[in-house]
Structures are given as structure tokens and as C-alpha cells.
Amino acid sequence: MDYRESSDTSGPPMTIHGRGAAYNLANRFEQLSVEREAWTHAEDPAPETHFYRDLSRSIIATNNSPDVGFEASINPYRGCENGCAYCVLGETPVLMANVTMRPIAELQVGDEIYGTMRQGWYRRYVKTRVLAHWETKKPAYLITLEDGTELIASGDHRFLTLRGWKFVTGREQG
């Protein structure tokens, strides 16, 4: 039987008798999936990975800039060139600065959203702008909150709980 490549979705799917799928589309549960960015070409060489020695003593990064709407951020994940420790399903709603909700996949650089900033012992909502946006493919986990809300996130995503920041998986989960 002749199957199409996962990226070939042109034209109607082939007829398959019995069980099976005509297309083998990549999904977030696959172990490995490679998809080139739209601006690259098949003959382009793969980008090089650069290793930078990290001598930081804390996972907390602080800033004192008038154009950034928060004073500290946490990036515990090492290894991703984008520093992306915040991977959630594209359908995850984000609170926009105009008090509407939008799926995170639809955010664009420059959009104004709500985040939090610590002020004394409390966290306050602050408006901030989206500085970067990209997609990743990683193993996904279903998280069910106490109120029944369900979220899908990667294992290295951290959530702020009453007991502090917790990873979805690993030693600090829960």
C-alpha cells in the first residue's frame, strides 16, 4: 500500500480499506517531528546549536527597565535556545489587557496581556507586552485543577501555587 509523507496533504487522501489513516499528520504526542520554518528552504543547512556556559547562581532574572512591565522573571529550563520553559497547548486562554480572552496560539508580538508582579508579600496583576512567540512540540500532560479546570502543558512548565512555583513533572510537582 502506498502512503503519503506526513507533510503531503495536497489533494484528497488515498483510499484505505479496513482500518487506517490516509494522512500521517504530526501531533504533540509523537516522539519526534521536524517541520521547517516557512522562511527556510529545503536546501538550507540545519542551524547550528551553540553552547553557552551559564554561570548564574539563581533562576530569578531581574530587570530595571521602564519598557518591561515586571521586575523579575523565572527561567529554570536550560537547553532550549529560546529559553522556553512555558509550553502550554495552543488553545490555552490568555487574559488580554482589554479583559478579553484569546488562545495563546493566536498571540502576536506586541499584544498587551496581563501578568503578575510581586509587590511586598502580594502579587498584583500588571499589563505587559508579548515580547516573543513560537511553537514547540514536546510530550504533553493533562493537568486537572481543584475546581475541575483542565490544562495541557509540557513537563517543564511551572505554575504558581499557594505553596510557590511548581513544575508539572519532576521533584517539585504537586
Question: For residues 63 and 71, is the Cβ–Cβ distance under 8 A?
Answer: yes
Look at residue 6 and tell me if it is in a domain. no
pLDDT in tens, 36-54: 667 777 787 776 766 666 6
Look at residue 153 and tell me if it is in a domain. yes
Question: For residues 152 and 144, is the Cβ–Cβ distance under 8 A?
Answer: no
Amino acid letter, 148 = G
Look at residue 1 and tell me if it is in a domain. no
pLDDT in tens, 144-153: 888 888 888 8
Dist. CA 145–CA 142, nearest whole Å: 10
Domain with 110 in it:
85-167
Look at residue 33 and tell me if it is in a domain. no
**CA-closest candidate to residue 102, choices 78, 130, 60, 79:** 130
Dist. CA 22–CA 164, nearest whole Å: 46
List the beta bridge partners of residue 119.
Answer: 122
CATH number, position 109 = 2.170.16.10
Pairing of strands 140-144, 122-129: unpaired
Look at residue 65 and tell me if it is in a domain. no
Count structural domains, the chain. Answer: 1
Whole-prediction pTM: 0.43
Look at residue 121 and tell me if it is in a domain. yes
